[in-house]
Amino acid sequence: MEILETKKEITDRLHTVRLDGSDIGLVPTMGALHNGHASLISRAREENQTVVVSVFVNPTQFNDPQDLLKYPRTPERDIQLLGELQVDFVFIPGEKEMYPEPDERFFDLYPLDAVMEGKYRKNHFNGVAQIVTKLFDTIAPDRAYFGQKDFQQLVIVKRLVQLMGYNISIVACPIIREPDGLAMSSRNIRLSPEERQIAPFISQTLFKANKLKSNYSPSELKQWVIGQFRKRKAFKLEYFEIVDDTELKQVKEWSEHVITVGCIAVHLGKVRLIDNIIFN
């Protein structure tokens, strides 16, 4: 496994790889790796001759400076895990390498970025688009792997690929959960033991909502979820929305869409958690 810190190094190395006829799979991450990331990497390992994992905590997608400061960073552990997963290249640039000067680019992601995460985290998705395009331009992968855990991000990255005309397949990977149902997240390690114990209430509520779906309209189901969180004072529900899987529009009737998704963001203590469920 080679660990590279500059765009020039990785571009040069991948140029040789490509000349040998190898295809390239990219897994973009912000580090503090867990089994959710590992599942994306294993999938990339199965489907590509060369696997690149980027590890970079992207400052432009954080709207809250405190959140950026507190974001967990475990580079040594990450590199060890990436070695075990038989990754070929780790791209782990510093901030100046990715942003030698401020990135002024604006990406027109409307209306996908106007709802849910985009509504509560101003400019978040423009920052995501900035780093994803920089990574795609540098690495030029054949395939890039994204988790359904960040459902809105996945939809927006697919839109970005269309917008920019990239010849890159976006591979969507299912949410990996802890045995008690909590969606794996780098942020989970910031939960106190008490918070960690009750955190599965979020996914349990989504699973129950999925079971109740046939008895309720989308707006009734939304109200039911909101009501569940009203009863649990430790949780502060930011949003729960039922949307379709391409336009992220609020679903009014189940029958109008083939795939519908319930997306949630909740504050538990000082930690903001997101999760979602694809209804069936």
Catalytic residues: 37
Q: Please, which residue, 203 or 260, has the CB nearer to ligand AMP?
A: 203
Q: Which residue is nearest to ligand AMP (CB)?
A: 147
Q: Nearest distance from residue 147's CB to ligand AMP, in Å?
A: 2
Burial of 50 (0-12, 13-18, 19+ CB in 10 A): buried
Structure-token match 């903001």, residue found: 272
Q: How far apart are CA 268 and CA 270, in angstroms?
A: 6
Residue 122 backbone dihedrals phi, psi, to 5 degrees: -60, 135
- Residues lying near ligand AMP in the complex (CB under 6 A) are found at 29-30, 36-37, 39-40, 146-147, 149-150, 173, 175-176, 183-186
Q: Please, which residue, 71 or 224, has the CB nearer to ligand AMP?
A: 71
- Strand order of the β-sheet with 89-91 is 2-4, 89-91, 50-55, 24-29, 143-147, 169-173
Beta strands in 7-114 (DSSP E): 24-29, 50-55, 89-91
Q: How far apart are CA 155 and CA 244, in angstroms?
A: 10
Q: Nearest distance from residue 189's CB to ligand AMP, in Å?
A: 12
Q: Please, which residue, 184 or 251, has the CB nearer to ligand AMP?
A: 184
Q: Nearest distance from residue 162's CB to ligand AMP, in Å?
A: 18
Q: Please, which residue, 43 or 222, has the CB nearer to ligand AMP?
A: 43
Q: Nearest distance from residue 237's CB to ligand AMP, in Å?
A: 20
